Each structure stands twice: as C-alpha cells, then as structure tokens.
Copies of this chain bind each other. A is one copy, B any other.
C-alpha cells in the first residue's frame, strides 16, 4: 500500500524526489542487434522479427486503404464522436501555437527574422497490445499536420492476426495519415530511422513505447536522428489544500497508477486530515478498480507526503518536476504562477488528469522522470525547426562591418574579417 511520509526533513527531499529505479534487464545488446539487422536486411528483417514477436507471418507491411476505411465500422458511434470531439479541442489548442514572427531591424540596414518550417518527414510510433493507445495518434498526428509535415509515417505492431487495432486506424484515417505500417518495437524505430524497401526513413521519431522502443530511440538519437524526448515511467503529483475533495484526489492517483507498475503517484498536502482521508478513499476505490493489480504495484512506489504549507508543497514539486501536476488549493491560479518545473498542470477540482490525457486540448506527450526541468511537452514546436534569416544592405554592412572585422581578428579568424573588408572596400568607392 502507499506510504505516508510525515514532515520529512528538507534535507531528505532530494532523495524522496528520486524516481524508484526499476530493475531493468539491459536491453542494449538486443536492441543493437535489431537495429543492425533492420539496417542491413530491411523488410526481410522486419518480417522475421514480426513473426518472432507477434507470431504473425506478415507479407505486406503497409496497411491498405480498405483496412483504414473499414476501421470505422468496427467502432461504436459513441467512441467515434468522442474521438472527433477530442480532435477538435486538440486542434484548437495546437493551432494557436503557430506563430509568425516579425522582422527585427537590429541596426539600420540589418534585418533579421525567424521562420518556422515543418520537418519534412516524421515518424510516429503507436504501441499496440491490449490497450491500444489511439489517443496518442491524435496527440502526435494533429501537431504534425498543423506544422505541415509533408510525410507522416505511422508504425504500430500488428496483433497475432496481423491487424492493427481499428481505433488506431480510425484516428489515423480522420487525420488523413495514410502511410501506416504493421511493425512494432525496436524494429519499427529502426525502420523509420534507416528506411527499408517499404518504409521511408524520417527526420524525427515520436511516440511512447516499451523499454526496447525507448532504448532504440536513445541509440538512434546518438546517431544524430532527432527524437521527441527521453522517456521514463509516467507520474502525477497532486498538491492539495484543506478544501480539496479526497475522493477526487484518490481517483486521480489511481488513474495515474493504472498506467503501469512502474508509475509513481504523489500527494503533497499540509493537511493531515486530508492525507488520511485520501488514504481511505484509495483503499475504497482500489477494491473496485478493474486494473487493481497494476495499481497496487505502482502504489508501492508512491507517497502521500505531509509538508508544512502549500508553499512547501510547491517547492517540493518544483524539485520533483512532475510530468502531471494537479493543484487543488484555495487559489490554484496564484499557486500555479510559482510552478517552474512540470509537464502539464491541472488547476482546480474539476481539472482531472484524464481530461488532459484525452480531450481538453493539451498534449499528453510530456516529460517524465524529472526531465520537465529541461524539456517541454510535445507541441507544434516539436514538428518544426526555426530557420533564421538576415538581409544586410550596403548601409547595414557599413554599420556593423567594422565591429565584425575587429571581433573576427581578435578570434584570429582573418578570412572572416576579409569577407567584410572586401565588401566594405567596394562600398568606399561609391
């Protein structure tokens, strides 16, 4: 069951903020083999590995248009409407992230500007299995489309009958994503990194996955292929004041704990009564929870922490840098101003994490494991690069040329200096 920690010494906070280390088998040798196999043998390697891992003897890796179209018949109307509503909200929020920047005249005759240009080819990885994460198709695909990526490749593992879950195909279908391939695991990452006969190589790879997928992304990153962000187990931290609803908090903690046995959930509060009530509600709700065996395991790695004040809770949270942060205090908006390290922040009694996971409009691909100290969650920014431009006129070069010559010379870069000198000389004759 979840631990209670009462008024820990501030000197212990850093230790408490360390994520519990999962005992992980070293996946590197296996993943390195898969990467080099796919690099050398292309589709042949993908077919062999797919048979090995999913048991299905696949011939055509690409999902056909018919498969995509027929997916719609396999979903309930309710689910399709829900997906379409979520899509609308996600689009609305992400479209606002497209910003056109002004031209800046840094000196007379020197114009500088930035322009966002879509990354041409992107790869989206969607895990399969029993819980098909079709919502992630929306979370990766929508910003890719808004950014204007020319080629969007999606890989997801087939089941033992050679099918990708229809909800995944439906989400891809409504977004117009047509390059969908039946391949999962490290081999899917390898295919998108290096390209095969069937699967085009891409410039950047996005999406969650198991530890083989994570290791493959880490390895291809060190070869210079971009990835969305480093991965780690999912987590939520709740900061709650005296008027917070303990049953709601318990439900939020359980929802996060359900993600996997290595998830971590934390409550920080200055109210001992609330802490105890939350503990009681957890026990009650756990008894009813369908995924309770997973939840129980992650609760073992989790904590209810009593601290001196809401401000202490905020300091602790900033040290922890949670992926998801729920603030249910008397003034969550003011308290949210003090948050410096978090992935996504949920304010008030009705902002449950599930809302952000599916339908509020924010992205659910977020930095875990303390990476929120230096990484952002996914956004349209993740699918573009920003080019800088400058136009220096003859007048402009007269204004900044001498400074450039002086600095280049001081760095002993004489040819840098000369590129200015040779131009200024022609101008002095004008």
Contact = CB atoms under 8 A, between A and B. Distances in A.
A332 B390 CA distance: 11
A16 interface: no
Nearest to A95: B104
A277 interface: no
Copies in the complex: 2
B99 A355 contact: no
B374 A119 contact: yes
Contacts of A93: 104, 106, 112
A252 interface: yes
A274 interface: no
Contacts of A290: 414-415
A362 B114 CA distance: 9
A423 B248 contact: yes
Interface string A322-363: 000000000011001001111111111111111111111111
Contacts of A66: none
Contact of A101 (B96, B363, B416): B96
Nearest to A401: B355
Interface stretch (A4-12, A29-37, A75-83, A156-164): A75-83
B254 A406 contact: no
Interface residues of A, number: 135
Interface in A97-126: 97, 99, 101-102, 104, 106-107, 110, 112, 114, 117-120
Contacts of A81: 403
Contacts of A361: 104, 106-107, 110, 112, 390
A423 B349 contact: yes
Given A224-B371, A385-B375, A422-B248, A344 B390 contact: yes
Interface string A352-391: 1111111111110001011111111101010011111111
Given A251-B415, A417-B354, A420-B352, A343 B89 contact: no
Contact of A388 (B86, B131, B362, B390): B362
Interface stretch (A45-53, A132-140, A176-184): A132-140
A398 to B, nearest CB: 9
A258 B96 contact: no
A349 B112 CA distance: 15
A416 B343 contact: no
Contacts of A406: 78-79, 82
A418 B353 CA distance: 11
A235 to B, nearest CB: 14
Contact of A407 (B83, B232, B345): B83
B408 A385 contact: no
A189 to B, nearest CB: 15
Contacts of A351: 390-392
A400 B131 contact: no
A194 to B, nearest CB: 14
Q: Point out which of A79, A110, A120, A254 has the most chain B C-beta atoms below 10 A from its C-beta.
A: A110
Contact of A295 (B85, B408, B415): B415
Contacts of A417: 354
A422 B358 contact: no
B204 A410 contact: no
B356 A400 contact: no
A335 to B, nearest CB: 11
19 contacts: A82-B403, A86-B404, A92-B104, A106-B360, A132-B410, A226-B374, A248-B419, A251-B415, A254-B415, A257-B415, A342-B387, A349-B423, A351-B391, A352-B397, A353-B416, A355-B404, A358-B403, A377-B386, A381-B386
Given A167-B410, A224-B369, A352-B420, 20 more contacts: A83-B403, A112-B362, A119-B374, A132-B410, A252-B419, A258-B415, A289-B414, A289-B418, A291-B412, A347-B390, A347-B391, A348-B391, A350-B393, A350-B396, A350-B397, A350-B423, A356-B388, A358-B403, A359-B404, A376-B387
Closest 3 CB pairs of A and B: A106-B361, A82-B403, A226-B374
